[in-house]
Amino acid sequence: MSTILNGLRVVEVSAFIAAPLGGMTLAQLGAEVIRIDPIGGNIDYRRWPLAPSGASLYWASLNKGKRSIAIALDKPEGQELASALIAQPGEDAGILLTNLPASGWMGHEALSQRREDLISLRLTGNHDGSGAVDYTVNCASGFPLATGRGAEPVNHVLPAWDIAAGLYLATGLLAAERARRLDGKGRQVSLALSDVMLASVGNLGYIADYQVNGAVRPPLGNDLYGALGRDFATADGRHVMIVAISNRQWHAIGRATGLTEKLAMIGPMMDADLNTEGGRFTARAAIFAVLERWCAARSLAEIEAAFDGTGVLWGPYRDFGQLVREDARCSVANPMFGTIEQPGAGPILAPGSPLAFSAGARRPPLPAPQLGQDTEAVLSERLGLTTAAIGRLLQTGIVAGPRTA
């Protein structure tokens, strides 16, 4: 299938979330992404959750559509093979994506000796090269202390900085590759996980709010900050989120619930203009009290029937199981999804790229490879090694195939 990044070749040496997600983002758009792992797998190869077979669903989910080669990276001959793959010839090749240290054979300077126009993208913890992970970056971001209802920090389970970093890595790689096409020069691109967090905090206005107003956003539970929105319990034990950002959405709530007149009374009582975001935020406790009673008297199905097609901005809360069972967006009815046969796990509903381009069909999701599945093919196709040479490497433990990796 012709896809937007057909022909682009990237070598990935990585672990965990950010760099693998960056590589998978490119692979889902048609790039050939060759993931190099040490024999036996990298540190993330057996990470939870696991299938009954012991296969990591985590690893498989972050490496869909890639090719896998297993090399003894702790041996000089293995490092030589990996370096040759990274610096392979071709205008669409010579690109490394990694979150491993920039030293020794994997440093940009050493690899550039093999290919002057090499592009390397490297994720670090902090901008000075010191270590950090999503959890240690997040705790300093301010968000855990603005989450929840009290003074205790709340660590959310979404690895937001890893995800954002993965998408920044893909963007940076494409930017560097475009620049190389224009000027023929290679580049070393670095990205610090902490800078991803800091950029986001700044871009959302929280740094400016403190510097200009001396304000620190407090924890508000599930209330939106500066607008109207919160969770509400239903009669059947579920919860829904109801939000009004615009006046149109605010008035839609009143019409759909039949509470327009009651809600309108709140403005004069609270001396708040309910046709503004700030006014609704100021009067939110009184508004919520009215909506709480309305929601508590109705089941989720009744609320859905009342809101459907009315312009109310709302959604039901779901756990992961309810998401899969109930939400049609999380099914093959959504063209992003397909069913793949994942080795070690069986048939799985899997997402492809969320991006849809007007020209060309959307690429269906592909399974992640078995560790070392493509070792022999990649060494033959990309380095031109003979069957005998590959056999010697397998026999001496310099590389491994799917049965020995």
As annotated, the active-site residues are: 162
Closest CA to 39 of 393, 311, 380, 287: 393
Mark out the alpha helices in 320-385 (DSSP H runs).
320-326, 375-383
Peptide bond preceding 365 in cis form (omega within 30 of 0): no
Count of beta carbons in the 10 Å neighbourhood of residue 207: 13
User: How far is residue 331's CA from residue 350's CA, in Å, rounded to a whole number?
Assistant: 9
The answer for 102, left when phi > 0, alpha when psi is -120 to 50, beta otherwise, is: beta
211 phi, psi to nearest 5 deg: -70, -35
Closest CA to 85 of 401, 387, 375, 402: 375
Task: Indicate the burial class of 81 (C-beta count within 10 angstroms; 0-12, 13-18, 19 or more).
Answer: buried
DSSP class of residue 172 equals H
The angle, 0 to 180 degrees and rounded to 10, between the axes of the packed helices 76-86 and 375-383 is 60
Question: How close are the terminal C-alpha atoms of the chain, in Å?
Answer: 30
Q: Hey, what are 40's tokens? A: 């036996």
SS3 at position 346: strand
Closest CA to 82 of 67, 70, 64, 66: 70
Q: Hey, what are 162's tokens? A: 């890893």
One-letter identity of residue 77: E
DSSP class of residue 105 equals G
User: How far is residue 121's CA from residue 97's CA, in Å, rounded to a whole number?
Assistant: 5
